[in-house]
Structure 1
Amino acid sequence: MHIGMLRAAHEREQLILFVGAGVSQSLGLPPWSELIDHMARELGYKPEEYRRYGSALALAEFFRLQHGNIGPLRSWMDRKWHSPNMSVDRSRVHELIVRANFKIIYTTNYDRWLEYAFEHHQREYVKVVSVADVARIRRDVTQIVKFHGDFENDESIVLDETSYFRRLDFESPLDIKLRADVLGRSVLFIGYSLADINIRYLFYRLSRLWKASVPGVPQPPSYIFLPVRNPVQQAVLAQWGIETISPDTEEDPSTALAAFLEELVGDATAQPQPPSETKRNST
Structure 2
Amino acid sequence: MNNELATAIKNKEVILFVGSGVPKNLGLPTYAELIDQMAEHLGFNPETFNAWGNGDFLVLAEYYFLQKGNLGGLRSWMDRTWHDSKIDISKSKIYKLIVEMDFPIIYTTNFDRWLERAYDYYEKEYVKITNVADIARTRNDKTQIIKFHGDFDDDSSLMLTESNYFNRLDFETSLDIKLRSDSLEKSILFIGYSLSDINIRYMLYKLHMQWKESSYEHIRPRSYIFLVDPNPIKERILRERGIIPIVAEGEEPGVSLAHFLKQLKDQM
TM above 0.5: yes
For 1:51 and 1:182, locate their aligned partners in 2 and report how far apart those are by CA, in whole Å. Answer: 37
* 2:40 alignment partner AA: R
- 1:234, distance to aligned residue in structure 2 (A): 1.7
TM-score (norm 2): 0.95
**1:279 corresponding residue in structure 2:** none
> Secondary structure of the residue that 2:27 maps to in structure 1?
coil
Residue deviations 1:174-227 (CA, integer Å, cap 9, x gap): 111111110132110000111111111111111111222344534222111012
User: How far off is 1:229 after superposition?
Assistant: 3.0
Aligned to 1:238: 239
How many Å separate the matches in 2 of 1:75 and 1:37?
Answer: 15
Equivalent residues of 1:228, 1:250 under 8 A apart:
no
Contact 2:6 2:267 in 1 (8 A): no
How far the C-alpha of 1:266 sits from its partner, in A, is: 2.2
TM-score by length of 1: 0.90
Aligned to 1:21: 20
Q: Distance in 2 between matches of 1:61 and 1:21?
A: 20
| Residue in structure 2 matched with residue 42 of structure 1 by the alignment | 41
Cα pair distance change 1:144/1:214, threshold 3 Å: farther
Corresponding position of 1:192: 193
CA, structure 1 residues 66+258, in 2 after alignment: closer, same or farther (shift >3 Å)?
Answer: same
Q: 138-147 vs 79-88, which deviates more? A: 79-88
Q: Which moved more, 1:178-187 or 1:90-99?
A: 178-187
Instruction: Report the equivalent of 1:273.
Output: none
Paired position in structure 2 for 1:71: 72
Measured against aligned partners, the alpha-carbon deviations of 1:32-77 in whole angstroms (never above 9, x if no partner) come to 1011011111111111111112221111001111111112211111
Instruction: Name 1:135's counterpart in structure 2.
Output: 136
* Structure 1 unaligned residues grouped into runs of 5+: 269-283
Secondary structure in 2 matching 1:21: coil
Q: How many pairs are equivalent?
A: 266
Letter aligned with residue 222 of structure 2 = P
Distance of aligned partners of 1:228 and 1:56 in 2 relative to their CA distance in 1, 3 Å threshold: closer
- What does residue 177 of structure 1 align with? 178
1:53 correspondence with 2:55 = no
Contact 1:229/1:246 (<8 A) preserved: yes
Distance 2:267 2:133 in 1: 35
Q: Which region of structure 1 is more displaced relative to structure 2, 59-68 or 225-234?
A: 225-234
Structure 2 gaps, min length 5? none
SS of the equivalent of 1:105 reads: strand
Give the Cα separation in 2 of the matches to 1:14 and 1:71.
Answer: 39
Tell me the equivalent position of 1:266. 266
Give the secondary structure class of the aligned counterpart of 1:140.
coil
Q: Name the CA distance, whole Å, in 1 between partners of 2:50 and 2:170.
A: 27
- Decide which moves more: 8-17 or 74-83: 8-17
SS in 1 for 2:91: coil
- Aligned-partner SS, 2:213: helix
1:146-225 pair list within 5 angstroms = 146-225=147-226
Kept in 2, the 8 Å contact 1:211–1:219? The answer is no
1:10 Cα shift? 1.4
Tell me the alpha carbon deviations over residues 70-96 of structure 1, each in whole angstroms, 9 at most, x when there is no partner.
Answer: 122111110111112212111000000
- CA drift at 1:267: 6.7
Q: Is the 8 A contact 1:127 1:145 kept in 2?
A: yes
User: What is the rounded CA distance, in whole Å, between the counterparts of 1:200 and 1:96 in structure 2?
Assistant: 26
**RMSD between aligned residues:** 1.3
**Residues 108 and 216 of structure 1: is their aligned pair in 2 closer, same or farther, counting only changes over 3 Å?**
closer
Quote the residue 2:2 is aligned against. Answer: 3
Q: Distance in 1 between the 2:44 and 2:38 partners?
A: 8
Tell me the amino acid that sits aligned with residue 252 of structure 1. Answer: E
CA distance in 2: counterparts of 1:46 and 1:228, whole angstroms: 32
